Structure 1
């Protein structure tokens, strides 16, 4: 199996389980309707673990452009392979979303709320606030990439690493997911959002393209900074790029704070 097919299949598996649990919890007349956030968080984590088990030995199982960029930014992954991995991840996300659509085929017409249908495919903020939402996605992905590097620095019983990665996703979802739905992965959001746009979903409404850039740019920035931060602090190998990123992120945080203070006044 090629690395392209591996990343495609791994990301597809992730979306089948992740998008599938959101559909099961939120679409009408499913047996799991209303099961809640805890079920969603655990299923996403286990879905990631299954994707890693499936293709980890073939591709390293990034399954996420932000992880690919984060690893490449510190020399843990060759830049020449980045476009191949990202294309595979995006395509895998779309295919996974199409499979979820067909699996829940009778339930779309039973669900009246277009936002609920979109939520099966892509994320959205609990409180719309551009800079705050961007920062939430950056923080979640920063923690993800840092966590993956922490896990990689330790020795586990053979075969246990994917499960630990899955638990990392669970805790990110439970702790940090309540603001934006924790995309923390451009392929998890943009790929299925494109599928939502072209699929014949009854009463689906718009695909919220005005928000779509946040779960792409936020995770990309957070993933890269997570890699740079780990390299600078844990390996004492700070570069000029790390310091430039640090200043830029501090400015983003300050801008977000000023915007929220202005709204509150």
Structure 2
């Protein structure tokens, strides 16, 4: 597998993953969206279909789309360690491109949502006057870009991301995809269904990042985009959806080596 295959596949594939995954979050969240308040089922299936679509598109690179998956495969011996930096860099770039495309796609809805008097009042503390000292750790549309906990407990939040990512990476490692991630129709479909299952069963506490690039790249975009009244990017929490999935991936690879 060439460096160009990795770069093109992972960049485009991860961009599509975030465009469709972040897109369903935007559709459910933003005012003036036809899917407003469609709920958690829409989000979990939307992310599952996002994985399915992106993995087929990223076939030339092996469709990692996730630094945790890349780490798990490298530890397991299926991916060369020398290729890991290129995978990670391409995934981060793709995630940021995808998040930006979500903003472009829903530009009108973002404007309508972020200038709504109710949102302005909730974000600023008093309508029209920005009180930076009272700015929330997580802004009103941050959930479109990245994840956050329903209950802030560092140990629980970290454990949730570790457990969920262990399930994901172990499922991939035991599918016969580990020989350079030779993507088959069945394997890709199974991975997408695993992501749906994780979302339904384990996604409630933290929003199931299970992918450092999926969370960090869009969080950076949220911080940079010119969104009015956007609030904070919650950087105090940002390390958990990065560190947790990486630990989970290492655990999955260790379990795979020991048990299989």
Q: Tell me the equivalent position of 1:77.
A: 79
> Can you list the C-alpha shifts for 1:55-110, whole angstroms capped at 9, x where unaligned?
12x11100000000011112111110000000000010000000000111011232
Shift in alpha-carbon separation, 1:158–1:195, aligned structure 2, 3 A: closer
8 Å CA contact retained: 1:10, 1:52: yes
8 Å CA contact retained: 2:19, 2:99: yes
* TM-score, normalising length: structure 2: 0.86
Q: Distance in 2 between matches of 1:153 and 1:201?
A: 40
Q: Tell me the equivalent position of 1:97.
A: 99
Q: Tell me the equivalent position of 2:25.
A: 22
Q: Tell me the equivalent position of 1:123.
A: 147
Q: Distance in 2 between matches of 1:24 and 1:202?
A: 19
Residue of 8, 11, 25 corresponding to 2:11: 8
Q: Tell me the equivalent position of 1:59.
A: 61
Q: Distance in 2 between matches of 1:215 and 1:116?
A: 19
Instruction: Return the offset for 1:116.
Output: 3.4
> Can you list the C-alpha shifts for 1:154-198, whole angstroms capped at 9, x where unaligned?
9xx952321221111100000000010000000000000000010
* TM-score, normalising length: structure 1: 0.84
Instruction: Return the offset for 1:152.
Output: 2.0
What's the RMSD between the two structures over aligned residues?
A: 1.6
Q: Tell me the equivalent position of 1:142.
A: 166
5+ residue gaps, structure 2: 114-118, 124-138
Mapping for residues 1-265 of structure 1, pairs under 5 Å: 2-56=5-59, 58-111=60-113, 112=119, 115-152=139-176, 159-234=185-260
5+ residue gaps, structure 1: 235-265
8 Å CA contact retained: 1:27, 1:116: no
Instruction: Return the offset for 1:153.
Output: 6.6
Q: Distance in 1 between matches of 2:40 and 2:218?
A: 20
Matched length: 231
8 Å CA contact retained: 2:8, 2:61: no
Instruction: Return the offset for 1:150.
Output: 2.2
SS at match of 1:160: helix
